[in-house]
Amino acid sequence: MSSPLGPAFWRLYSASAASNLADGVNRVALPLLAATLTRDPVAVAALTSLAFLPWLLFALPAGAFVDRTDRKRAMAAANVVRAGALAALAATVLTGTTSLVVLYTVAFAVGVAETVYDSAARAMLPQVVRRDQLDRGNGLLTTAEEASQGFIGAPLGSVLFVLAAAAPLLTTAGGFLLAAVLVVGIAGTHRPVRGGGPPTTIRRDVAEGVGWLWRHRFLRGLTLVSASTALTSSMTTGVFVLYALDTLEIGAAGYGLLLTAAGVGAVAGGLTAAPLAARIGRTATLVAGSVLAALTLGAMAFTENGVVAGALYGIGTAGVLFWNVLTMSLRQALIPEALFGRVQGGYRTLVWGGIPLGALAGGLLADATSVPTVFAVSGAIQLLLAGALWWLLAAHRDLVANAFAADEEPAAP
């Protein structure tokens, strides 16, 4: 029988669920608002690019910051900033002064705050659970995140947008404020324990984290495969709202339901990732999830039926969640706690930093060909990357198998 995760974990879980519910509403509302202003695929894809550009620019200093401060306070402050930015956007909608420039600016500001929030949240989990509980903790957290974003936030955001364009923005602002209050309620302080020695600079801290990541052969390879997959997948993210509105012709409410299908798949994937890995192994589970995601994404290029597209999207998202849960647990098990924010910052810079480029590439490809072509190309490339993942995991099978063997500080790479 598994041991309980403890009250600190469940408080983190509640705060994460509230924050991601707000994020889910926001991720539907902003693309729909952009689509009311333009149907240019490059302009619409630029919104996704700007939302994720902060990961390329600020993930490293954000990681160094959360390794220097109380992580729960960093999470709360980031959510307050996100709430303020979205409340300001709602004000422009209500006054009729919204423009693409305003929308782009808010998306970027929310993205900057997200680099701090997400870096701190991921670094907190190893502080509140044991190493042998990481898979279960990540599975529960990721399931809550995806359920809040896709299963609840997506349909709620689309329904609110149909009622009034400002409604989902105000709802999101309120949700982020609630999440800030919840995270402050986590008992104790969560400042990482740093080694002795003289104080260091942010620049030196960043260099230490990036250097550790680069010297670790397995995590370096995992980072490169992850970055390539994220860049390729984001080709569809930037034009996804146009896929729903113009290819499937399912409207704003249908767009929300399509994202809800992904939420259902995410919940299934998040809940089954750890048990499946325990049964068939992490390598088999990760590779199976990658292949599943690639095949379903490519198949979406060949349907104009919203129900079929939703089923494919949900199945593929379950595969993505296998990846998210298990690779996060691997990183948390292998990276020293005092370095986690900085190493994770380096990882996210490369992985999420490629998303703006992928989104713009998808927009340009859609403009030159068609939106379904983007899905076909993305799925084909991701299938090749699944092969690279299998090779990487096979080459480091002993490291992967023993990563969770003892509840002790990881050795240097």
- Kindly report, residue by residue over 99-127, the tens digit of the pLDDT: 999 999 999 999 999 989 988 887 788 77
Question: Which tokens go with 274?
Answer: 């750890």
SS3 content of the chain, % helix, strand, coil (to 5): 85, 0, 15
What distance in Å separates the CA atoms of residue 238 and residue 411, rounded to the nearest whole number? 40
Answer for the pair 36, 307: CB distance below 8 angstroms, yes or no. Answer: no
- CA proximity to 378, closest of 366, 388, 390, 367: 366
Residue range 7-190+198-402, CATH number = 1.20.1250.20
Answer for the pair 52, 349: CB distance below 8 angstroms, yes or no. Answer: no
Rounded alpha-carbon distances, angstroms, from residue 383 to 292, 316, 407: 9, 12, 35
Instruction: For residue 172, give the 3-state DSSP assignment.
Output: helix
Instruction: For residue 73, give the 3-state DSSP assignment.
Output: helix
What per-residue confidence (pLDDT) applies to 413? 43
Q: Spell out the domain ranges in the chain.
A: 7-190+198-402
Percent of the chain with pLDDT over 90: 47
pLDDT band at residue 196 under the 50/70/90 scheme: low
Q: What Rg, from alpha-carbon coordinates, does the chain have?
A: 20
Minimum mean pLDDT range among 72-86, 191-205, 323-337: 191-205
- Stated pTM of the model: 0.76
What distance in Å separates the CA atoms of residue 250 and residue 269, rounded to the nearest whole number? 26
Strands (E) across 52-188 are located at: none
Give the mean model confidence (pLDDT) for residues 301-318: 96
Rounded alpha-carbon distances, angstroms, from residue 213 to 26, 239, 284: 32, 33, 24
Residue scoring higher pLDDT (307 or 48): 307
The pLDDT of residue 97 is above 60: yes
The pLDDT of residue 409 is above 50: no
Q: What confidence tens digit (pLDDT) does each residue in 259-279 have? A: 889 888 988 998 898 899 989
Q: What confidence tens digit (pLDDT) does each residue in 147-185 have? A: 788 778 888 888 899 899 999 999 999 999 999 998 888
Taking the CA atoms of 97, 98, 102 and 107 in sequence, report the sign of the dihedral they define: positive
What distance in Å separates the CA atoms of residue 328 and residue 411, rounded to the nearest whole number? 18
- Name the phi and psi angles at 256, rounded to 5: -65, -40
DSSP string, 346-375: HHHHHHGGGHHHHHHHHHHHHHHS-HHHHH
pLDDT band at residue 44 under the 50/70/90 scheme: confident
Answer for the pair 78, 196: CB distance below 8 angstroms, yes or no. Answer: no
- CA proximity to 27, closest of 132, 115, 155: 155
The residue count for the chain? 413
- CA proximity to 323, closest of 357, 294, 354: 294
